[in-house]
Structure 1
Amino acid sequence: MDIRKHIRGETMIQTIFENVKSAPDSGHLASYIPALANQSKDLFAACLVDGKGEVLEFGDIDYLFTLQSISKVMSFIVAAEHLGVDRILEKVDVEPTGDPFNSIVRLEVAEKGKPFNPMINAGAITVASLLPGETVELRVNAVREYLSKITGHEHYVNQEVYKSELETAYRNRAIANYLKANDYLVGTVEEALETYLQLCSLEVSTQDLSKFGLFLSSDGKFANDNKNLISRKTAQFSKALMMTCGLYNASGKYAATIGFPMKSGVSGGVLCTVHNGELENLNGHIGIAVFSPMIDEIGNSVKGMDFLKKLSDQYKLSVF
């Protein structure tokens, strides 16, 4: 997708952005992933784009960060288009958990250890093993190339972040072993884990994420034509999962207070999709992305969520 116009100058959205940016810092960096602990806590960016190519962007928009859990949306879409949504649902459910994203306890209480949804680590590791391709490289490339179709340029795995995550993946490896023992993984534990962690380590900008949000808002259509890259069913399930499970065990709170589909990652990014909004010169289908690496105890960007809450209140973006 080509972005044709940049709207600049004073807007209410810019005022919201500046107010959130100047607020006292709170939260912490995702230091349990050593490479993420090196991010500057002062980074902050937001980008909004509509189907006409109009865009509003603020802050550190050129900074590249890793997708982390936002990659779960892309993985689900590629796997669902490869095998069909119904086949994916045989391996992963679509129910919220109310538990942390890396929880193991639900696997022990669920029917036959089935992951509750693709937006938590257990579900995402399972989905990673279902991606097209017989090797880790092919599975990662399937998602990487798909993302590139939407953003219009190549995306690469940040090797420092990937190696950092792989070296400290004790809990995720335990989850993957449990999944393998219950026959949910295709291939080996290490293949599934390496695929999942490489996808988490793909680099994007806020503009890239806003393009993906716009793409989802229009049920998988490119903004400049009527070509659907994904089925409506895949788009429907993806957005429903983002709304109900996309913000870890704070998903219900943010569905009530912000009210549109979102998916966050512990690097500080948030992917958002608005089906029908009106924000300054932007209207109709809108993709929104924010980035700020200071996260709360659940794993969501503190300033990112504050910005989105104020944006939704100001422009009445909630679907409820």
Structure 2
Amino acid sequence: MKEEIKKHLENAITSYHHYYASGKLAAYIPALLEANPKAIGACILDKEGHWYCAGDYEKRFTIQSISKIVTLALAIMDNGEESVFSKMGYEPTGDSFNSLVRMEINRVPKPYNPMINAGAIVVTSMIKGEDNNEKLERIIDFFKRLTSNEELSIDGKVYLSEKETGHRNRALAYYMKEVGILSLDVEDVLDLYFQQCSILVNCQDLAKIAMVFANDGVDINTGEELVPKYIARKIRTIMVTCGMYDASGSFAVRVGLPAKSGVGGGIIALSPKKLGIGLYGPALDDKGNSIVGMKVLEELSRKLDLSIF
């Protein structure tokens, strides 16, 4: 199986690399335009601790929306599931990740799920701490524990770029403030959210996070429970239904794995009890997902028979 995983990963990276030319960088965050669209890398970590990596897997990039699964776990641990989901739903939207439409037409104007920006902003507002410094410290510390990487840091340039141009997120946040979903200061919450999205990771970091959630919240190296089992399972389910923006349904059919993408080009995916996967390819499709990463995952799922369905 080890040689099979390595072979199929390397073949997929080589076979689908050219698809980058069909994608585009995330122009609405100007700093992300500095990425190399030709870059593609991936890492797979199995439950026995074996690594399989190919391409530009050591390249660091900002985690963006993949951070949503980590802060969701932390918010539930801080507040309890009932409290968190009193402010948002579990349902996929079929709309883009930064859409305001569903909240406006609902009788109960709250985000459909925690994987869209509106829901993720509310989740970030629920992280415990006396101020933003303490909250950010707790978020980064949690990331470090999940990745076993004490060197994680924030890309200041991307953070400031997001802060200066995040007008749609401000519209979402101020709307939620008006209707009572968001209770804290909007600019403080957004500042924390923009920093959370600007944490630098590589494919190995993503694969490690994925493996924790694949293993019901337990670190395979230390045996420590980093995330309670019921939370890990719930987040895996939400990743299946909502993790790939408004392409989540087609992704479930074609790939069949819990996954979450980010407009920085990263994708995290997992095979429960088996594998954690991290990919990077900054050229995006029209849904905001890594165009090469999607192709690689589809190939790996087919060749390794990974679909959970």
Q: TM-score, normalised by structure 1?
A: 0.92
- Residues 170 and 226 from structure 1, CA distance in 2 versus in 1: closer, same or farther, beyond 3 angstroms? same
Contact 2:149 2:205 in 1 (8 A): no
Aligned residues: 307
Change (3 A) 1:134 1:21: same
Q: 2:259 aligns with which of 262, 265, 269?
A: 262
Kindly report structure 1 stretches of 4+ aligned residues shifted beyond 4 Å: 6-10
Match of 1:188 in 2: 185
Listed one character per residue, the Cα deviations across residues 180-208 of structure 1 (whole Å, up to 9, x for unaligned) are: 11111231011111111110111101000
Residue pair 2:154, 2:200 contacting (<8 A) in 1 also? yes
Deviation of the 1:10 alpha carbon: 6.6
Structure 1 contact 246–261 (Cα < 8 Å) conserved: yes
Residue number in structure 1 paired with 2:47? 51
Deviation at 1:82, TM superposition (A): 0.7
Shift of 1:227: 2.8
What CA distance in whole angstroms lies between the structure 1 residues aligned with 2:59 and 2:304? 27
Give 1:91's aligned residue: 87
1:12-27 pair list within 5 angstroms? 12-23=8-19, 25-27=21-23
* 2:156 corresponds to which of 147, 155, 159: 159
Supply the distance in 2 between the matched residues of 1:24 and 1:267 (Cα, whole angstroms). Answer: 14
For the residues of structure 2 that align with 1:168 and 1:23, how far apart are their CA atoms? 28
Moved more, 176-185 or 209-218: 176-185
Cα RMSD between the aligned structures?
1.6
In 1, the alpha carbon distance for the partners of 2:236 and 2:145 equals 19
**1:157-236 → structure 2 map (5 Å cutoff):** 157-236=154-233
1:250 aligns with 2:239: no
Contact 2:6–2:53 at 8 Å: present in 1 too? Answer: no
Change (3 A) 1:200 1:182: same
Q: Could you tell me which residue of structure 2 aligns to residue 297 of structure 1?
A: 286
Q: Partner letter of residue 100 of structure 1?
A: S
Q: 1:62 Cα deviation (Å)?
A: 1.4
Q: Distance in 2 between matches of 1:135 and 1:16?
A: 45
Instruction: Give 1:174 deviation, angstroms.
Output: 0.7
1:82 corresponds to which of 58, 78, 84: 78
Code of the aligned partner of 1:309 = E
Correspondence for 1:239: 236
Contact conserved, 1:291 with 1:304, CA < 8 A, in 2? yes
Measure, in 1, the Cα distance between the counterparts of 2:8 and 2:270.
20
Per the alignment, residue 312 of structure 1 pairs with 301
Counterpart secondary structure, 1:289: strand
**Structure 2: distance between partners of 1:66 and 1:186:** 28
Please, which moves more after superposition, 244-253 or 106-115?
106-115
Q: Is the 8 A contact 1:112 1:182 kept in 2?
A: no
Query: What is the rounded CA distance, in whole Å, between the counterparts of 1:197 and 1:225 in structure 2?
Result: 31
Aligned-partner Cα distance in 2 for 1:160–1:184: 30
SS of residue matched to 1:111: coil
- 1:280 matched residue in structure 2: none
> Post-superposition shift, 1:8?
11
SS of the residue corresponding to residue 59 of structure 2 reads: coil
Q: Percent identical across equivalent pairs?
A: 38
Structure 1: runs of 5+ lacking an equivalent: 1-5, 277-284
Q: Report matched runs for 1:71-150 at 5 Å.
A: 71-150=67-146
SS class of match (1:112) = coil
CA drift of 1:7 comes to: 7.5
TM-score by length of 2: 0.96
Deviations 1:3-40 (A, max 9, x none): xxx98997232112211124562110001100001111
Contact (CA 8 Å) 1:47, 1:57: kept in 2 or not?
Answer: yes
